[in-house]
């Protein structure tokens, strides 16, 4: 007579997080690749991207390409203009484009949910101040 024995499952590792944002490969669907580059999903269900010449968002929903953008959320000790910061994970996803980063405590950013320019600083930490940046492998390959 055959006997079946259940194999113990390996404990699942929880993803690393900083400030409540999960690091690593993003699987949330909040990003898409458009002909203009990486786009971010807004609460209204549209994909937007910061205009390269100005400080405003452009709706690129009709220009979305059916490819996986391969977005990674990585910790960064400093940011520069044009960087895409993630300030909250699902279900309250929030992202913003850095406009001016003269000092770490005084960053001007363009909020993708409201299209408003906001002042942002990372929550204080005793040891390190980290931001979470979204980086697409396509941006790295294309040199953007």
- Give pLDDT tens digits for 28-51: 889 999 888 899 999 999 999 998
Point out the residues of the chain with pLDDT beneath 70: 1-22, 124-128, 139-144
For the record, the structure tokens of 88 come out as 């909250």
State the alpha helices, DSSP H only, in the chain: 137-142
Exposure string over 55-73, b if 16+ CB within 10 A, otherwise e: eebeebeebeeeeebbbeb
End-to-end CA separation in angstroms for the chain: 63
Alpha-carbon Rg for the chain in angstroms: 18
Q: Which of 14, 57, 24, 17 is nearest to 38 (CA)?
A: 57
The per-residue pLDDT for 6 is 47
Domain ranges of the chain: 17-142
For the record, the structure tokens of 129 come out as 């101040």
DSSP one-letter code for 138: H
DSSP one-letter code for 141: H
Q: How far is it, in rounded angstroms, from Cα 7 to Cα 17?
A: 30
């Amino acid at each position: 007579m055959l006997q079946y024995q259940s194999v113990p499952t390996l404990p699942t590792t929880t993803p690393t997080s900083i400030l409540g944002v999960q690091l690593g490969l993003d699987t949330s669907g909040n990003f898409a690749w458009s002909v203009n580059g990486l786009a971010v999903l807004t609460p209204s269900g549209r994909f937007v991207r910061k205009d390269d010449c100005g400080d405003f968002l452009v709706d690129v929903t009709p220009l979305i390409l059916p490819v996986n953008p391969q977005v990674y959320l990585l910790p960064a000790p400093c940011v520069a203009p044009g960087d895409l910061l993630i300030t909250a994970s699902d279900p309250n996803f929030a992202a913003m484009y850095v406009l001016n980063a003269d000092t770490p405590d005084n960053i001007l950013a363009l909020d993708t949910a409201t299209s408003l320019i906001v002042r942002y600083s990372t929550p204080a930490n005793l040891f390190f101040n980290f931001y979470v940046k979204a980086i697409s492998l396509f941006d790295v390959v294309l040199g953007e």
